[in-house]
Amino acid sequence: MSTVHPSWPDLLTWLSRHGMDVSAENLPVEARSSYGSAGYGLFAHHSIEPGTQLFSVPATALLNSLTLAPHYPRAVPKLTCVQAVSLHLLLHRPKNCSGCPEPLFGPYISVLPQDFDSHPLTWLWKDEKSHSLALESQLISALPSQVQCKLRKSFIRFETDWKRVQCYLERNPTLLRGRQAKINAIDSMEEDYLWAWLNVNTRCVYHRLTKSPSDPDNMTLCPILDFANHSPRPPYTIPKPIQAELRDTAPSSKKTFGENFVLLSPSTTITPSDTELFLKYGAHSNSTLFTEYGFMTDLSVGGRAGGEAELDGIIAALFNSRGSLGSWMKEILVVEGYWGDWTIHSDPNPAHPSYRLITTLRLYHLFSLPSDTIPPNAEERLEDWRNTTFGKQDIISKDNEALWRSTLMDICKNMIQEAQVGIMSIGKIGLGVMSTLPEWADSAKSFVEMLWKEEYDVCSLVIESLEKNEQF
């Protein structure tokens, strides 16, 4: 039986003070506990017609760089939206269950998750800090290396933001007034900053606040909306496009905080009472959902494959092992926009490498192995490769095709072996580290297993395609 979030009534009282209509007929949703490890979700409390406005959260109740700017000393250079919002959350992290007394956004901050213990970035942070045999360290070592690589990239983003926020706090020590943490104790605030940063990274949504539509600062935390869980399949709720987006402008006046955030119900289906409403967070692979949001979807449910495996570390290592020639080829791939983001996919059929990966492996085999020095006619030879990228010729040569396909076959075979070992070792996670494991440990272990199984399945299917000589 799902239960309503205990602080939901306080949140509504606060939102109505911002001028929001929170009457039951104009707010047909509420935050209730969801299934499994998904925490809370957004549920219909009565049947909802297609394309209905679910709510309109006032711009003043959105937590973003515009609404925070009047309350903070200016920063040069400017803090990014992620840094500004996570700084605010850091300074106001509730210390007990009685909620957050902060006058501006307190009732909203009170409904945020109290911890991110089950998020893999927290495991990595704990692992980096203690290098212990704790559950978290075991989980990190049990992850496929490609997923570890991805997680480390988001850890670097976290550390960069934390360094910037630390500098800002050192320059503006009055922000710490009344707190136990004095300026020389800023270091000790890192764990709270991780909590703040993960709130921003798992809950922020795109919202047009600046002139350029692609500005990464076009984002906000939005109360109520951020209770919506992700689903890979429709029906989805849909954010209503705002005027600034339709007219391609920044918010109309510097004095305003942008526009309200409006969410619409799924456009083609009636949402029955008591059903959960979802958002689509993006067309993300499971490894991205896991490293960024701390969960993943079960690909075996719903009859659709959609599996993906990333090969970045493996392919980068191939180029690194080829000395000056490898560095030269890497430079070309960087300049031409093909470096990184190399993936294989189980669907659509036949299972296949991405075009970026094919193009990269073709270049890797342009010069026969084990050569690792740049040949005198390198530029000339590159012409054939360039022609394939411009679509002037389909392939470099039959030999080149056979070579890259064979390299991909070897990579997939190695990954399958690693996956078999990885799957076998999951049973040992948590043994001997503590008498009772935290309640999130089982779902964490099943995510690690699903990540390995996805790699295993995608690699097996790509091998099958290569064996059948499928053309990609």
Ligand X SMILES: C[S@@+](CC[C@H](N)C(=O)[O-])C[C@H]1O[C@@H](n2cnc3c(N)ncnc32)[C@H](O)[C@@H]1O
Residues at the site binding ligand X, with contacts judged by CB under 6 A: 37-41, 113, 202-203, 226-227, 229-230, 293-295, 297
| Among 18, 10, 2, 23, CA closest to 63 | 18
Residue 308 CB, shortest distance to ligand X, in Å, is 17
Residue 348 CB, shortest distance to ligand X, in Å, is 23
Please give the Cα distance from 131 to 384 (Å, whole number): 49
Report the residue number, 39 or 313, with the smaller CB distance to ligand X: 39
Residue 85 CB, shortest distance to ligand X, in Å, is 14
Report the residue number, 204 or 311, with the smaller CB distance to ligand X: 204
- Tokens in use for 263? 């969410």
Report the residue number, 405 or 445, with the smaller CB distance to ligand X: 445
Residue 230 CB, shortest distance to ligand X, in Å, is 4
Report the residue number, 224 or 358, with the smaller CB distance to ligand X: 224
| Burial (Cβ within 10 Å: 0-12, 13-18, ≥19) of residue 193 | buried
3-state SS of 251-306 is CCCCCCCCCCEEEECCCCCCECCCCEEEECCCCCCHHHHHHHHCCCCCCCCCCCCC
Residue 104 CB, shortest distance to ligand X, in Å, is 20
Please give the Cα distance from 289 to 282 (Å, whole number): 9
Q: Is 178 left (phi over 0), alpha (psi -120 to 50) or beta?
A: left
Report the residue number, 234 or 340, with the smaller CB distance to ligand X: 234
Report the residue number, 150 or 203, with the smaller CB distance to ligand X: 203
Please give the Cα distance from 89 to 199 (Å, whole number): 8
Residue 97 CB, shortest distance to ligand X, in Å, is 16
Please give the Cα distance from 113 to 438 (Å, whole number): 16
DSSP letter string over 400-443? Answer: HHHHHHHHHHHHHHHHHHHHHHHHHHGGGTTTTT-SS--TTHHH
Residue 111 CB, shortest distance to ligand X, in Å, is 7
Angle between helix axes 120-130 and 135-142 (nearest 10 degrees) is 110
C-alpha distance across the termini of the chain, in Å: 48
Residue 101 CB, shortest distance to ligand X, in Å, is 21
Report the residue number, 264 or 329, with the smaller CB distance to ligand X: 264
Contact 381, 367 (CB under 8 A): yes
| Lookup result for tokens 């991205």 | 288
| Among 147, 230, 233, 36, CA closest to 454 | 147
Report the residue number, 49 or 439, with the smaller CB distance to ligand X: 439
Report the residue number, 229 or 265, with the smaller CB distance to ligand X: 229
Residue 231 CB, shortest distance to ligand X, in Å, is 6
Please give the Cα distance from 279 to 291 (Å, whole number): 18
Report the residue number, 106 or 113, with the smaller CB distance to ligand X: 113
Contact 309, 415 (CB under 8 A): yes
Residue 209 CB, shortest distance to ligand X, in Å, is 19
Nearest residue (beta carbon) to ligand X: 39
Q: Strand, coil or helix: what is 384?
A: helix
Report the residue number, 223 or 430, with the smaller CB distance to ligand X: 223
For the stretch 417-420, contacts whose Cβ atoms lie closer than 8 Å and that sit 24 or more positions apart, written own/partner, are 418/144, 418/145, 418/455, 419/144, 419/452, 419/453, 419/455, 419/456, 419/459, 420/456
Contact 106, 241 (CB under 8 A): no
Residue 292 CB, shortest distance to ligand X, in Å, is 8
Report the residue number, 277 or 461, with the smaller CB distance to ligand X: 277
221 vs 60, 186, 204, 224, 442, CA distance in Å?
11, 25, 5, 10, 30
Residue 226 CB, shortest distance to ligand X, in Å, is 5
